[in-house]
Chain A
């Protein structure tokens, strides 16, 4: 049975003279921007099924009673995927991530309740998962919106400057 390794960036191999290189379109769109950081390289893992035994030391959003998203450093991804219970899907490549500071900027980007994060909702009209630590927000959204979200975020920050 397929192990869906074609979904996982960390499953690529250097072999036969090939050296696979990762690229983040979001990083390119954010190049040179102040106050925003590309987090697309973090591992993002969706778990479906029983959510009782999820790790305590990783960022986690419970999407539904039987679905959760875990975000962790990329080097932890493969081991975590193996250890998690239930059906596990590597969404590392599906979701781009960015970090930005400032509550007012977030208020202009999303109607999510910023006092009730992490949560799933819309940021800049794109479906997103949002984490918060103090005044720092981490937003994960479908990577195909990367260029667009970067455009909106930078424009929003420009409007506050």
Chain B
């Protein structure tokens, strides 16, 4: 089965490796690939083609073509011709219904021709529309390459590594190695990337990444390199492209038969793996590299029936015929020659794709019939045969097909695009190669144009009468080599923020939930009871997630006056005001509080999820206005705990010598004091509607102060409460949540907070827009509502007026305190009247609700101020 030992063979005949193909054991040797071992075991059909399900065999043995794509250990689309053999691997065919040798879907090849011309999917299966779901199901079954196990867990580890190097050399052929050595000799850090597993010694000073593939060239000299489990993001000062050339197939009828191969396949089979690629061969080649395989063929005892050197003679017609998809004979100018191997090559095309991505101009070299790179951008270099130095070669015709031929001549084996398809695309008016590419999908398959781009352009040039230079190339885009999505996705960690009390919440049995990037306690078990407890005793909630800023400097007050619609210049030191931040368009962006800590110092809080945006907004305006203001983000520096409920004063009083009476710390006061020995900023504000104190203090004391509050408040029945009970409590007060009760169109006037928009101020961000709103009149209003019968409408539920949707519910909860369902909604202005009746769609039926403009609970704010 194997040839006698070949001089350069890479197989280790002393080490047998076993793996499984379709459940049966296959034996091979260490040092070869899964594909070569399968070939040695007698397998000739390796895949079924994308569209027609024609049998396909090994073609390039270079990892370029789609013919050997198989699923290995659950990973689809592995090119087994280059995938090293490994013990116990489970190898399966893909894209077949049945088996490789009997694929039921090959019916498309036999009968589907007239029904599946190029672009058929744009024209068929459109009517009747109701059948589309069935078409879609069927198409999804047969389309695509390989199957991913959607239920499989992440099976492989993928990492991303960032690298910097002076010089990156892509391609470890002789020119690449020489360039790498030269760069290293100049003392520059040099990285060499090559697809092969082992490289000859490249010398000191050159770091080698192999096997690895450069995926593309991006701005700033960024080259992502796929090294299997690691994606290297290489930033290179200089990029040397030594990607060599790609052997090009010829276009002729039957050119996809199993047994029609490229010269490189013969070299690898004979030289590396000591395999006999066939018994009787015909060679049709356009250059020395192609013709030279005659030597390997003879060495492998293959009878060479005919050698056609296209530089000497170009046959008028060439076709291949087969049986069961396998080559039986070749016909050259009508003369039939029996053979089972046709080595055909149309010469070599420089693999210029990375250069084109880097910005090189690609031009057509008419003498050699190929595209070559020209005008390289700075810091990009091409060396070796990629420059176009491919030796003397013939320019083969676009196709050898006789127009009368009934067999298909494939231009693109990945997507099963034939010469006829290309002609048809031209006839239908797709007269540019870019449009034809999209219409026929030529060059869009797994090989990404490696084996079809040149042929497609040549055919286009012939069919349109325009030259190749005028047709040009398609745009080269990354990825240049196939890459797994897992590698692009990386490790999949999600940047997550946790407060200093996170572990306490977990220990207390909290159900944690996402609030933007934060993890927060949803509740500690019973949200309704937790809310009720705040009304009756004292509760603690971790509000460390609030954005916190210090704004200070001589212009601090003027800065805030300009940013917010509310007034801050007249805010006394030690006092707080509610603040709504608006955009230039007057839309609500965020809300929070502004406290004055000194003549030139303010303490600003924002929503939990809006903190980063607000900080950027502040810094942006500060840069625009050039005011003397410093903005310091202290969000994470401070843990914040809201101690709320009628017993909160007593609890706080036990921990501080400061006067926390209503006179000592009044509603909307900001004061600094030691609490249990920890310096705190105490803000008396009442988002939840009860007497309450927000304690802001250095985060490393989070657990200490939380524990102390709970311990010293045990007899007062101090308990934690979560986000959900807070949502109930704030709704009882009709305190809005930005982003929940407002959206990107909401403004403070229509949201019922006209009092906060001081339109008599000289200027503030969004003032003009709010004036326009006032002038045009309100289109909707944000109001509270309560429901009589106790059902809770969905958030986002419709407000229906005269049978038409005219508004939406933004929040709705059942309040134990009030014994009814309450909510907030955007309604038409005429319904924004106390007591007006709303109709809300709940589960398909309309429920009546009554508008309430005042807070549902403690409308006069007596509890807050008590």
Contact = CB atoms under 8 A, between A and B. Distances in A.
Contacts of A22: 700-701, 704
Interface in A1-57: 1-2, 4-9, 11-16, 18-25, 28, 40, 46, 48
Contact of A148 (B495, B597, B634): B495
Nearest to A151: B493
Contacts of A23: 500, 700-704
A12 B677 contact: yes
A19 B701 CA distance: 11
Interface stretch (B39-47, B155-163, B397-405, B747-755): B155-163
A90 B235 CA distance: 36
The winner among A7, A46, A114 for most chain B CB atoms within 10 A is A7
B298 interface: no
Contact of A25 (B503, B630, B696): B503
Nearest to A155: B491
A55 to B, nearest CB: 21
Interface centre among B162, B674, B698, B701 (most CB of A within 10 A): B698
A108 B679 contact: no
Interface residues of A, number: 58
Interface in B151-182: 157, 159-164
A20 B674 CA distance: 11
A50 to B, nearest CB: 13
A159 interface: yes
Given A110-B162, A144-B635, A155 B700 contact: no
Q: Chain A binding site: helix, strand, loop or mixed by DSSP?
A: mixed
Contacts of A90: 637
A5 B597 CA distance: 12
Interface residues of B, number: 60
Nearest to B703: A23
A145 B699 CA distance: 13
B189 to A, nearest CB: 10
Nearest to B712: A18
B698 A113 contact: no
Interface string A78-113: 000000000101111111000000001001101111
Contacts of B60: none
Contact of B502 (A19, A25, A94, A115): A25
A76 interface: no
B608 to A, nearest CB: 11
B496 interface: yes
A22 B697 CA distance: 12
Contact of B162 (A2, A7, A19, A107): A107
Contacts of A20: 676-678, 701, 704-705
Contacts of B657: 16
Contacts of B638: 6-7, 93
A146 interface: yes
Contact of A8 (B496, B573, B698): B698
Contacts of B696: 6
A75 to B, nearest CB: 15
Interface of B: 157, 159-164, 233, 235, 491, 493-500, 502-503, 518, 544, 550, 552-553, 573, 597-601, 630, 632-638, 655, 657, 672, 674, 676-681, 696-705, 708
Given A18-B655, A23-B700, 11 more contacts: A1-B599, A7-B698, A8-B698, A20-B701, A46-B632, A48-B630, A111-B235, A143-B636, A148-B495, A152-B491, A159-B159
7 nearest CB pairs, A to B: A94-B637, A1-B598, A18-B677, A2-B597, A144-B497, A93-B698, A111-B162
